[in-house]
Amino acid sequence: MRPESEADYATPLMTADLVILSIREGVLHVLLVKRGTEPYLNRYALPGGFVHHDEQIIAAARRELQEETGLDDPSMPLEAIGYYDALDRDPRGRVITFSFLSVTATMPAPYAHRSSDVRIAVWKPVAPMLGEDSRLAFDHVAILRDAVYVARDRLQYTTLATRFLPEEFTIAELRAVYEAVWGFELDRANFHRKVKDAREFIVETGDVRVGSEGRLGRPAKLYRAGEGSALVSPILMTLPAGGED
């Protein structure tokens, strides 16, 4: 076996791609950008871009998110999901990307970016983006699919659902988060019981919202996120009777 030289080692470029999820009118949405350059000119893609030589990957992710979409919240949690290193994933050469997931209750208007990299940022329903006819650039369908899988799993064992919601919310609105992300309806009474049994998940504010949840004249209690990050009693993703995977 011949000795290795510097020419034997790969020198790939690195990128950061972001999956930002939110719920709009009861439907799970993802933040996408329309590309303004080749490759994949005018195709939708996840926000993201190249990592500068003098910055960490997560810093690059936050910078690209702000530059391409206008979302600029340093407190927004970004969870590293994984890396993608297929040799042919980027036609420009060897590029390894690191993906990040975040969810937000903030739904900013589409951000018209005027640089040559991005034409516009828009919110799109997730379901069509996961289909066989999805035309997302690069391998972003796979990245989005993996991130949605992670989000669905996190709802079972963590308090992630509250990050989809404003500061105060009803249990019906919390249930709607689970239904939007999981893609099926939940039994109201059973969900209410599980949520109340989960310690430090939600906390009553002492206030009510009149006329909510479709019950005429009956106020609904308002809650806020608790201090916990993990659900001691998981809320498992169990399909209703007769449901299909």
What does the pLDDT read at residue 154? 97
pLDDT of residue 71: 87
- Asked whether the beta carbons of 107 and 22 are under 8 A apart, the reply is yes
Separation CA 47–CA 66 (nearest Å): 9
Rounding to the nearest 10 degrees, give the CA dihedral for residues 169, 174, 177, 183. -150
Residue 200 has φ and ψ, to the nearest 5°, of 60, 25
Q: Kindly give the parts of the chain with pLDDT less than 50.
A: 245
What's residue 245's pLDDT? 44
Helix, strand, coil shares of the chain, percent, nearest 5, are: 25, 25, 45
Would you call 183 exposed, middle or buried from its count of C-beta atoms within 10 A (0-12, 13-18, 19+)?
middle
pLDDT, one tens digit per residue, over 2-38 is 667 667 787 899 999 999 999 999 999 999 999 999 9
